[in-house]
Chain A
Amino acid sequence: MTKPVERIMVYLDGSEGSILAMRLAVVFADFSGAELYALSIVNTRALSDLVQSHIFLEAEREEYRRELSEDGARYLNHAVEMGRRKGVSVQSLNFSGSIAAGIKEKVGELGIDLLVMGPPPRIRSRRDAMFDELESAMRTVDCSVLIARNEERIEKLYREL
């Protein structure tokens, strides 16, 4: 019988929500024996938009790209460590481009069948709804999506692993 979940992926952006999603994914991976991937994205699309709109200078684009890349490496190290503490192997993934495109591309490329995400930000304007990239990924990605909620319960599950 095919396992219901074979490959799980979490997108990490350093937010509390994405850390919570990672904890839940570690629990699921342990429970199901699924492979677990953590994805970090350097949002070069946003950097290009900022240069094009003249908010950023070229020098700022490079400076921020480097910082995003360093932040991403830190998030991934943290994710690997979270898995290691519970005996779960976490494979790191990097992508440069837009967030929605990165998530969709990696899901397709690796055959991910479950994307675990933190709670999406509260939508407070129509523009938020139209342009939020995580919202867009959640709506359009070609796999099941699990939203991590109830921090207390997830912390307990992770702690008890």
Chain B
Amino acid sequence: MSLIELIDKRTVKVPLEAKDKQGVLRELVDLLALATDKVSDPEALYQAVLDREALGSTGLSEGIAVPHGKTNAVKNVCLALGVAPDGIEFDTADGKPSRLFFLIAASTDKAGPHIAALADIARLAQSSALINALVRARDASELIAILQGD
């Protein structure tokens, strides 16, 4: 399942309101839970994402973070995407703040689609030009158009 197949305008937020790491995770989980019917237990999903972060930050270099969690509190695989143009401290590999957040949640029996979506983000993360374009998007529609045009 490719990244673009998971993109849903209702779960893309530009800009994010949160100002810290936990706030971003909470905002993205709530976005998924409120905008879709894919999350049966937002607290369980939030905890799964926090548990994963506790093992090691999913903040990569180039301003991208890919928090993810596996829980039966979600149906199939789902994604929330947010942009924080000013950056948020996320314990990243290069010490720089993160600006683009892909939160991916998957049920425990969906390893294949979960990995396919994450692999797509890993490839996207290699393009600084694309990341910069996404961070500059003024709203969700523009961000989705950039991803589709890439």
A residues near B, CB below 8 A? 13-14, 43, 46-47, 49-50, 52-57, 59, 64, 67-68, 71, 121, 124-128, 131-132
Contacts and interface: CB of A to CB of B under 8 A. Distances in A.
A54 B115 CA distance: 13
A47 B4 contact: no
Nearest to A41: B112
Max chain B C-beta neighbours (<10 A), residue from A43, A52, A54? A54
B109 interface: yes
Given A46-B116, A64-B115, A71-B111, A55 B122 contact: yes
A20 B76 CA distance: 20
Interface in B46-97: 55-56, 58, 60, 66, 68, 93
B107 to A, nearest CB: 11
A132 B2 contact: yes
A106 B5 CA distance: 29
Interface of B: 1-5, 55-56, 58, 60, 66, 68, 93, 108-109, 111-112, 114-116, 118-126, 147-150
Contacts of A57: 55-56
Given A46-B116, A49-B122, 4 more contacts: A43-B112, A53-B60, A55-B68, A128-B2
Contacts of A127: 2-4, 120, 123-124, 150
Contacts of A132: 2
A124 B4 contact: yes
B124 A55 contact: no
